[in-house]
Amino acid sequence: MGQLETAANNETLFAQLGELIRQEMERLHVPGVAVGVYTAGQESLAGFGVTSVDHPLLVDADTLFQIGSTTKTITATAVMRLVEAGKLDLEAPLRTYLPHLRLSSEETAAHVTLRHLFTHTGGWEGDYFADTGRGADALALVVDTLAELPQITPLGALWSYNNAGYYLAGRVLEVVTGQEYEAAVKSLVLEPLGMTRSVFFAEEAITERVAIGHQSLGKEQPTIARPWALSRAAHAAGGLSSSARDQLRYLRFHLGEGTAADGTRLLSHASLQRMRSPLVSAGNGIEAMGVSWMLRHLGETLLVSHGGATHGQLSAFLFVPERQWGMTVLTNADRGGELHQIVTKWALKHYLQLEEPEELLLDLPEEQLAAFAGRYSSSVEVLEVSVQDGRLLLRAIDKGGFPHKDSPPHSPPIEVALGATGPGRVRVLDEPLKGAKGEFLREGGGKIGWFRLGVRAYPRQED
């Protein structure tokens, strides 16, 4: 296919993608979406809908959305620049840089490394969102409180998403650079890549066209989600606001050879490869974790990704290195994750002919299903699994605790059916969690100890 024909084909596909986005926005009550697709040198960008249902502005490619945990990969990219400069070591104990680090487990505090943080294998309670103020000491203060978090699993033993680990990574950046976290990331990543619209603070975002988060789950019409901003302590884990255009700049860097647009080298190609090489096994369709990146294969093709969610705003970010292709999707409602799943699946199929085969459902006897029934809990959510009429049902109950640890629950309980796909493995069959994968994990003695739904492992609660 010639260059002009390829460009025309990409334009046709992007127009079709836009129609799909419009349909799903209306169905899922998502007020605004920004999308960017990069295909072997060609960028396609568009905005849909509005920034806010109360004070609407049209969304465009430069509209700022909170990208949530996609920020974690930017934190890791900044760290990798210092690793390459010989100032940090992924395998060194954190106490090399934070000598006074205290955790509830002294064994963990003495041996935890940056590698553990970036692969979510620290083992302590991870969904912890303390607000330690707006001062320059916000990260230092939140790190001082991490000793309050219980150690759920031994260090390195189990992959389970851990936001609190990135507070430590951000604090290491501060100590080694002598800068506040935001300034360090700006100088190490954002400025060199030309991500000039990407900001951390609300007072920076308010001067731009900026998306407002919405709650739409269980509602006929979306309503504004408040508060708008996360606490400063959470910036390293998920505090960046960015645009689709800036996200494509970031994507092109990770698809490239480690240089900025002006040719300045930021990372070696070897370091980029190291970030997307498997370090620990994961689960639920994510095969492994690299340095912050989630890795899986569709056939023989490697897919690298990360997503994010804040209070009513969600992001999706994925790329396929060997095909020089990637995309970002930014949404401003709590059902944006459902839109992401549909849109990214469509894009992978139509742009790259990559499609994940759907796992067949198994018809398991009720006595086998009964072993999975129980109550599984984290600090922010309870999962109740039961057996009714020969099938597994899941009830997910929001306990509150996000975006701040004292925040009340902001969504109603969700009830969905689970279908068995293998020994101890399930898939959610109903919206709003449709397609999410789960697995029941056993302890050494064979007893089920955790239910890992998506990226989080929830410990089983004793009756």
CB-based contacts of 172, cutoff 8 Å, min separation 6: 79, 88, 94, 97, 98, 114
What is residue 219's predicted lDDT score, i.e. its pLDDT? 79
CB-based contacts of 300, cutoff 8 Å, min separation 6: none
> Is the pLDDT reported for residue 74 higher than 90?
yes
What is residue 357's predicted lDDT score, i.e. its pLDDT? 87
Q: List phi, psi (to 5°) of 319.
A: -150, 155
Question: With bands split at pLDDT 50, 70 and 90, how would you rate the model's confidence at 404?
Answer: confident
The residue assigned the tokens 């018809």 is: 363
> Is the pLDDT reported for residue 6 higher than 80?
no
Q: Which of 44, 52, 69, 231 is catalytic?
A: 69
Contact by Cβ (8 Å): 78, 173: yes
What is residue 370's predicted lDDT score, i.e. its pLDDT? 93
What is residue 397's predicted lDDT score, i.e. its pLDDT? 95
Q: Write out pLDDT tens, residues 127-145.
A: 999 999 999 999 999 999 9
Write out 177-245 in H/E/C secondary structure: HCCCHHHHHHHHHHCCCCCCCCECCHHHHCCCCECCCEECCCCCCCEECCCCCCCHHHHHHHCCEECHH
Q: Can you tell me the mean pLDDT for 439-455?
A: 91
What is residue 5's predicted lDDT score, i.e. its pLDDT? 65
Question: Which two tokens mark 37?
Answer: 């697709």
What is residue 2's predicted lDDT score, i.e. its pLDDT? 59
Q: Write out pLDDT tens, residues 41-72.
A: 999 999 999 999 999 999 999 999 999 999 99
Contact by Cβ (8 Å): 148, 104: yes
Q: CA-CA distance, 421 to 428, in Å (whole number)? A: 10
Q: CA-CA distance, 172 to 312, in Å (whole number)? A: 29
Q: Can you tell me the mean pLDDT for 221-230?
A: 93
Question: With bands split at pLDDT 50, 70 and 90, how would you rate the model's confidence at 409?
Answer: confident
pTM for this entry: 0.95
Partners of 315 in beta bridges = 308, 330
Q: CA-CA distance, 305 to 249, in Å (whole number)? A: 15
What is residue 454's predicted lDDT score, i.e. its pLDDT? 94
CA 440 to each of CA 84, 125, 287, 433: distance values in angstroms, whole numbers, following the listed order: 39, 18, 16, 17
Question: Which two tokens mark 165?
Answer: 């680990």
The residue assigned the tokens 């809990």 is: 377
Q: Can you tell me the mean pLDDT for 358-367?
A: 90
Question: With bands split at pLDDT 50, 70 and 90, how would you rate the model's confidence at 28?
Answer: very high
Contact by Cβ (8 Å): 411, 402: no
Mean residue pLDDT of the chain comes to 95
Contact by Cβ (8 Å): 402, 385: no
The residue assigned the tokens 């309050």 is: 148
SS3 assignment, position 55: coil
> Is the pLDDT reported for residue 1 higher than 60?
no
More confident residue, 229 or 98: 98
Q: Can you tell me the mean pLDDT for 151-157?
A: 95
SS3 assignment, position 176: helix
CA 332 to each of CA 28, 76, 434: distance values in angstroms, whole numbers, following the listed order: 11, 25, 19
Alpha-carbon dihedral 145, 149, 155, 156, rounded to 10 degrees = -100
> Is the pLDDT reported for residue 4 higher than 80?
no
69 given a catalytic annotation? yes
DSSP line for 386-403? EEETTEEEEEEEE----S
Q: CA-CA distance, 341 to 338, in Å (whole number)? A: 5
Q: Can you tell me the mean pLDDT for 258-277?
A: 94
Percent of the chain scored above 90 by pLDDT?
A: 88
Choose the weakest-confidence range: 75-79, 404-408, 449-453: 404-408
SS3 assignment, position 435: coil
Provide the 10 A C-beta neighbour count for residue 328.
29
Q: Write out pLDDT tens, residues 296-311.
A: 999 999 999 999 999 9
Q: Can you tell me the mean pLDDT for 358-368?
A: 91
Q: CA-CA distance, 73 to 294, in Å (whole number)? A: 10
What is residue 262's predicted lDDT score, i.e. its pLDDT? 87
What is residue 463's predicted lDDT score, i.e. its pLDDT? 64
Percent of the chain scored above 70 by pLDDT?
A: 99
Contact by Cβ (8 Å): 94, 101: yes
Q: CA-CA distance, 66 to 58, in Å (whole number)? A: 17
Question: With bands split at pLDDT 50, 70 and 90, how would you rate the model's confidence at 443?
Answer: confident
What is residue 225's predicted lDDT score, i.e. its pLDDT? 94
Question: With bands split at pLDDT 50, 70 and 90, how would you rate the model's confidence at 238?
Answer: very high
Q: CA-CA distance, 456 to 444, in Å (whole number)? A: 20
What is residue 405's predicted lDDT score, i.e. its pLDDT? 81
Q: Write out pLDDT tens, residues 100-117.
A: 999 999 999 999 999 999
What is residue 245's predicted lDDT score, i.e. its pLDDT? 98
> Is the pLDDT reported for residue 197 higher than 70?
yes
